[in-house]
Amino acid sequence: MSSPAAIFRLMRAGWIMTREGVISALPAEGLSGLPAFGHRMAGLLARRRAMTAQRSERMSRAINKLGPSYVKLGQFLATRPDVVGTEVADDLALLQDQLDFFPMDASIKAIEGSLGRSVSDLFVSLDEPIAAASIAQVHPAFVASNGDIKKVAVKVVRPGVRQRFNNDLESFFLVARWQERYVPATRRLRPIEVTRTLAQTTRIEMDLRLEAAALSEIGENTKDDPGFRVPTVDWERTGRDVLTLEWIDGVKMSDIEGLRAAGHNLIKLAETLIQSFLRHTLRDGFFHADMHPGNLFVDDEGHIVAVDFGITGRLGKKERRFLAEILYGFITRDYVRVAEVHFEAGYVPHRHDVASFAQAIRAIGEPIHGQPAETISMAKLLTLLFEVTELFDMETRPELVMLQKTMVVVEGVSRTLDPHFNMWKASEPVVGSWIRRNLGPQGILVDAREGAQAVLHLARQVPELVGRADRLSKELDRMAEHGLRFDEQTAHAIGKAEARHTRSGRIALWVIAICLVIITYELLS
């Protein structure tokens, strides 16, 4: 049951977004009745200065006022254009954390509490913070290592952020439940599942040991990759609330003039960036899902160094094959095969016709043929593909949407470095090699070996499966003879659920009444 506190927190958030002009800036096409009236009222209640700002500025101002939980929500929704729409997702992608530093004493307390050692024992020196975000802030520091003094970056979790997020998360789930219940058209997007994903990813991000593990894993995966690396982790000085990393001296990839002044080859950097991302995606199935220019540096040796691994994505073998076959099908204009892949993967319900779906795919693929390769965007192609799949009831695949959004960002960075960047030419060595290895004869042998191992594993479980089938048969016989009976706990749970639905209806009416009182007061004051 949602607490009254969660409802009032939600009302406060709605009021702040209304006053900052966020609600009135959202698309209103197709609205009618009460929603359209609410949109007009939001415009009347917005501050005058807010109405002159761009939508991205309004969102940034409101979200930073609401605090760390909403900053993280905004950043998460920026990776889900399927949920909020492409335009809003693009605006949220511009959202930058603008939170204040927390006191040095709080950082020292968090470090010592997490590592069980004094700061003076851990570091030669710990300096004042230089960057503060929604989850943590970063301090430069120095450590003694093998007789040498080296500089490190120390990331410390913001005090109280976990409790604040858990409180706000209750409000997020309340909105998701209302959306699923009262807006049937959005059920395909699975808002409750989206909120669960936000909760899981943020809780992982708040445990800096897990970010360190992601850095370590990608470091191992990429240790032999040309032109790309990640910072090394200082595990001795890393715990739940603190992460210590190698200090990166380099130029941010957002600083194009700085890269030129340092003598870096921008065309080569663009190629290396996209190839590195595709290797992580196709070869490893594990990729950095927040590769905006602020998280990418170029060191003195010309290597791209990625930082901030709080958001990562994973793709299973099936999803990687799905992606590769789609790209290959578009390249060869085999639209029927692209359509078949969607059905084979179970992404499009079998009640639809493969030929009709292939026709829709052709509408995406044909316009790109005959164009100069440098004008064809792989990210845009995937965006169009996901838009078409909506017409065929393809359920949201969070891992594929996160991949598509990250590819949009990575491709955008590459084109910033090289305006004539040829995505297909740069990608071919990685995508072509993966396809030949995994979809050719070698891939068939690997699949056969894995299939044999699966059959052997199933054979080992046969005695246990037979026992389960026997017990199930006896239970069905008992049900047929005596009928279906609920135990006391189940009956109690059903009663609680019914009571919750009744209370939710009453609470919703109170929320509406209170909102009307607030609006009336503001209009009269």
> Which residues have a catalytic role annotated?
290
Residues 447, 453, 455: CA angle, nearest 5 degrees: 100
Instruction: Give the per-residue SS3 of 410-423.
Output: HHHHHHHHCCCCCH
DSSP label of 147: T
**Sheet with strand 304-306: strands edge to edge:** 228-229, 304-306, 296-299, 250-252
**Contact indicator for 368, 424 with CB cutoff of 8 Å:** no
Gap between the Cα atoms of 379 and 52, Å rounded: 32
Amino acid (one-letter) located at 226: P
Copy the structure tokens of residue 138.
Answer: 């970063």
Q: Taking the CA of residue 52 as centre, how many other CA atoms within 13 Å lie in the half-sphere pointing to its CB?
A: 2
Copy the structure tokens of residue 467.
Answer: 């026992």
Gap between the Cα atoms of 416 and 277, Å rounded: 16
Contacts of 19 (CB under 8 A, 6+ apart): 45, 46, 47, 50
Question: Does the CA dihedral 94-100-101-107 come out positive or negative?
Answer: negative
Gap between the Cα atoms of 511 and 513, Å rounded: 5
114, 74, 62: which is closest to 237 by C-alpha? 114
17, 74, 67: which is closest to 46 by C-alpha? 17
Amino acid (one-letter) located at 256: I
**Looking at the DSSP assignment, which residues form a beta bridge with residue 145?**
148
Amino acid (one-letter) located at 267: I
Gap between the Cα atoms of 425 and 334, Å rounded: 19
Helix, strand or coil, per DSSP, at residue 61: helix
Gap between the Cα atoms of 312 and 174, Å rounded: 26
Contacts of 312 (CB under 8 A, 6+ apart): 214, 218, 286, 287, 288, 289
Helices (H) and strands (E) in the chain, counts: 24, 11
Gap between the Cα atoms of 254 and 298, Å rounded: 10
Q: Can you tell me which residue has the tokens 């037979």? A: 466
305, 124, 336: which is closest to 219 by C-alpha? 305
Amino acid (one-letter) located at 76: F
